[in-house]
Amino acid sequence: MRTTIGWQADPATRALRRTHLRRRDLRPDDVAVRVDYCGVCFSDLHALRAHKSDTDGALVPGHEFTGTVSEVGGAVTGFAPGDPVAVGNIVDSCGTCPMCQAGQENFCRGFPTLTYGGIDRRDGATTLGGYSREYVVRDTFVHHLPAGLDAAGAAPLLCAGVTVWEPLRALGVGPGSTVAVAGLGGLGHLAVKLAAALGATTTVISRTPGKAEEAYGLGADGFVVSTDAAQMEAVRDRFDVVIDTVSAPHDLTPYLRTVAMDGTLSHLGHLGPVTVETTDLLIGRKRLSSAGSGGRPSTADLLRFCAEHGITADIELLPSSQVNTALERLERNDVRYRFVLDMSDLD
Ligand SMILES: [Zn+2]
Ligand SMILES: [Zn+2]
């Protein structure tokens, strides 16, 4: 085993504290990555809340990071020490099921191995995440970070970015499409940038009138206040695709009404049961869909697209020693739009 330093959940307080972590020795197809920047995702908060230290083992969050290859296993040909790379929220999958065969490892029938809190397919160890200075990962789940992309701003592309990218692509968004993005947080702000860069006419739907200027700054063409009935009525049956990134449980009805005939509401921000009045789908043959994370091909596709269009997340960069502050502020939605931790203070 090798050791590194990272931020692990304290069993008593659930706060993260700096500690030594163990990483496996490199297998022939492993890559060791010096983690430079790691995004702070809403899932990290959920994981900390749900974590039971007596049964779940150690918890080190972090599943969207960029870094530099420090060492490669003997069978690795695609990476060399010094390469800038990126890793998302999946680090392995079965490789043989129809989902994996289709390049949708995120939907692996054997369940993908998660970057943290997952079970390694070969040795059964619990995976520890990217809030650490080094990560050891199978080469096929490492992505080259294209030149020209800021490594800190690119980190959130690996979870938040690909989570909105896959549905935008799968739903055929492009020039001529009309897209609405509900919620302007980590997912939402990237959805706006990506939809606009794909050529769609993009509207932000938000509870907060004060966010209009920010929305236009991100590339939106329109802004609708969700609590203003007249404004919502004015966009009735308007959008081919509505990307719903609102993270709290909420009524889908007002959003479904803004979907155009044969259009789709992609419900991404919240996991769990929802209630739908089916006449809201019937009228206009509307579709309700969801998605999460991304397969390897679409992650690579996203990174290429972002490099071409100069897209990264708008971030607030903090030294990793402020990770607990970042999590507290994220819980209050006090961030524009994603925290990224600079891991260099772990040396
Ligand atoms: Zn995430
Ligand atoms: Zn599979």
CA of 231 to the centre of ligand 1 (A): 32
pLDDT confidence bin for 51, thresholds 50/70/90: confident
Q: Which of 110, 112, 114, 128 is nearest to 24 (CA)?
A: 128
Helices (H), 28-119: 42-50, 53-56, 98-101
Q: Are residues 210 and 248 in the same domain?
A: yes
Closest by CA position to 46, among listed 271, 294, 266: 271
Residue with more model confidence, 11 or 35: 35
- Of the listed ligands, the closest to the CA of 90 is 1
* Same domain assignment for residues 42 and 152: yes
Q: How far is the CA of 180 from the centre of ligand 1 (A)?
A: 22
Closest of 310, 338, 2, 347 to residue 188, by C-alpha: 338
Residues 236 and 319 in one domain: no
Q: How far is the CA of 192 from the centre of ligand 1 (A)?
A: 18
* Dist. CA 299 → ligand 1 center (Å): 14
- The CATH number of residue 50's host domain is 3.90.180.10
* pLDDT at residue 12, as a whole number: 82
Shared domain for 186 and 229, answered yes or no, is yes
Percent of the chain with pLDDT over 90: 95
- Ligand 1: distance of its center to the CA of 228 in Å? 31
Q: 296 alpha carbon to ligand 2 midpoint, in Å? A: 12
Q: Give the model's pLDDT for residue 13.
A: 82
CA 199, chain centre distance (Å): 22
Tell me what the pLDDT averaged over the chain comes to. 96
What's the gap in Å between 105 CA and the centre of ligand 2?
A: 6
Q: How far is the CA of 156 from the centre of ligand 1 (A)?
A: 8
Tell me the C-alpha distance between 96 and 105, whole Å: 10
**Which ligand has the nearest atom to the CA of 93?**
2
pLDDT at 56: 72
Q: How far is the CA of 128 from the centre of ligand 2 (A)?
A: 21
- The ligand whose atoms approach the alpha carbon of 105 most closely is 2
CA diameter of the chain:
63
Ligand in closest contact with the CA of 101: 2
The number of the ligand nearest the C-alpha atom of 271 reads: 1
End residue of a domain, out of 290, 310, 334:
290
Whether residues 154 and 36 fall in one domain: yes
- Ligand lying closest to the C-alpha of residue 117: 1
**Where does a domain end: 290, 312, 329?**
290
Whether residue 109 sits in one domain with residue 45: yes
> Is 53 a residue whose pLDDT tops 80?
no
Residue 11: pLDDT band by 50, 70, 90 thresholds?
confident
Question: What are the φ and ψ backbone dihedral angles of 45, each rounded to 5 degrees?
Answer: -65, -45
Q: What is the mean pLDDT of residues 1-20?
A: 93
Give the ligand with the smallest distance to the CA of 99: 2
The reply to whether 10 and 137 lie within a common domain is yes
Please report which ligand is nearest the Cα atom of 113. Answer: 2
**Shortest-distance ligand to the CA of residue 102:** 2
Domain hosting residue 172, numbered range: 162-290
215 pLDDT band, cuts 50/70/90, is: very high
34 forms beta bridges with: 68, 134
Q: How many helices (H) and strands (E) does the chain have?
A: 12, 17
The ligand with the least distance to the CA atom of 296 is 2
The pLDDT of residue 84 is 98
Ligand 1 mean position to 44 CA, how many Å?
7
Tell me the average pLDDT across 257-265. Answer: 98
CATH number at residue 181: 3.40.50.720
Q: What is the mean pLDDT of residues 80-99?
A: 98
Mean pLDDT of 339-346: 98
Report residue 52's pLDDT band, with 50, 70 and 90 as the boundaries.
confident
Surrounding residues of ion ligand 2, Cβ less than 5 A: 93-94, 97, 100, 108, 110
Q: Which ligand is nearest to the CA of 94?
A: 2
- In tens, the pLDDT along 59-89 reads 999 999 999 999 999 999 999 999 999 999 9
- Ligand 1 centre to CA of 117 (Å) is 13
Ligand 2 centroid from CA 93, angstroms: 5
Residues 84 and 128 in one domain: yes
Q: Are residues 169 and 280 in the same domain?
A: yes
What is the tens place of the pLDDT at every residue in 148-174? 999 999 999 999 999 999 999 999 999
CB-based contacts of 336: which residues, under 8 Å, 6+ apart? 214, 314, 316
Minimum-distance ligand to the CA of 338?
1
pLDDT at 209 over 90: yes
Distance 280 CA to ligand 1 centre (A): 30
User: Do 169 and 147 sit in the same domain of this protein?
Assistant: no
In a shared domain, residues 112 and 13: yes
For residue 328, the CA-to-ligand 2 centroid distance in Å is 35
The pTM (predicted TM-score) of the whole model is 0.96
Q: Please report the pLDDT score of residue 135 as a whole number.
A: 98
Both 199 and 214 in a single domain? yes
Distance (Å) from CA 279 to ligand 1 centroid: 33
d(CA 65, CA 6): 14
Number of domains the chain contains: 2
Tens-digit pLDDT profile for residues 220-247: 999 999 999 999 999 999 999 999 999 8
Tell me the backbone φ, ψ of residue 54, rounded to 5 degrees. Answer: -75, -30
Q: Using 50, 70 and 90 to split pLDDT, how confident is the model at 217?
A: very high
Residue that has been written with the tokens 């592309």 in this structure: 157
pLDDT, tens only, 107-159: 999 999 999 999 999 999 999 999 999 999 999 999 999 999 999 999 999 99
